[in-house]
A and B are shown apart, each in its own frame.
Chain A
């Protein structure tokens, strides 16, 4: 089932610093993971994904790390910018047309 967070954890970082957002996923059978960014009043925006046969994947300024042993996922944002301020969600599923299960979310606040 879905996880629901009543109080979003917040990460505050200085502009230009690197950010690391962590997520613990629930289903050991999940084989596909996605990070989404959600700005206030908008739908989630795809950032980066990773399959379970990988442990690291890099995009533009973002890196996702997957540790299946401890069911942990992280998103690293390099040189964080004010425009990165948003809520970040990890999501998991089993490949195919299956619904995503979302993590609780982390609010990233960038201090200029």
Chain B
């Protein structure tokens, strides 16, 4: 299956600052990647679909101007949380669909906004 990495694995930032999270597909070229968010003791919630070379598709209720997604290459998608607030504190996870079927997940990025 696809090997997916994320960086950083955890980050602490002050309220009002921006944080960039990287998702890399290490052994598979991905035209599509997905970004999920997971709050404690909850399931994964899809935030957006990242499309290489085009705009991301956001789920209802997810602010596209707050969560900026850039899929600049077939191996890298970035999620930038702009003007972060404490309620943005969460576990952010990306996934890569392999050959259009099984999706493989990154290790996740824990964000804590103070």
Which of A's residues lie within 8 Å of B, judged by CB?
Answer: 1-8, 32, 34, 36, 41-46, 49, 89, 91, 95-97, 99-105
Nearest Cβ on chain B to A36's Cβ, whole angstroms: 8
Counting residue pairs across A and B whose Cβ atoms lie within 8 Å, the total is: 70
Pairwise interchain contact A2-B44, C-beta atoms closer than 8 A: yes
Q: A2-B44, A95-B101, A102-B45 are in contact. List 19 more A-B contacts (CB 8 A).
A: A2-B45, A2-B46, A4-B43, A7-B41, A8-B41, A36-B105, A43-B4, A43-B6, A43-B105, A43-B106, A46-B104, A49-B101, A89-B43, A97-B97, A97-B100, A99-B49, A100-B95, A104-B43, A105-B42
From B45, B93, B107, give the contact of A4 (CB < 8 A): B45
- Write 11 A-B pairs (CB below 8 A) sorted by A numbering: A1-B60, A2-B45, A4-B45, A34-B103, A44-B93, A89-B44, A97-B97, A99-B34, A100-B46, A100-B103, A102-B43
Q: A4-B45, A8-B41, A105-B43 are in contact. Are A44 and B34 (CB under 8 A)?
A: no
Q: Does B25 contact A (CB under 8 A)?
A: no
User: How many B residues are at the interface, by size bracket?
Assistant: 20 to 34
Which of B's residues lie within 8 Å of A, judged by CB?
Answer: 1, 4, 6, 31-32, 34, 41-46, 49, 59-60, 91, 93, 95, 97, 100-108, 110
Pairwise interchain contact A43-B41, C-beta atoms closer than 8 A: no
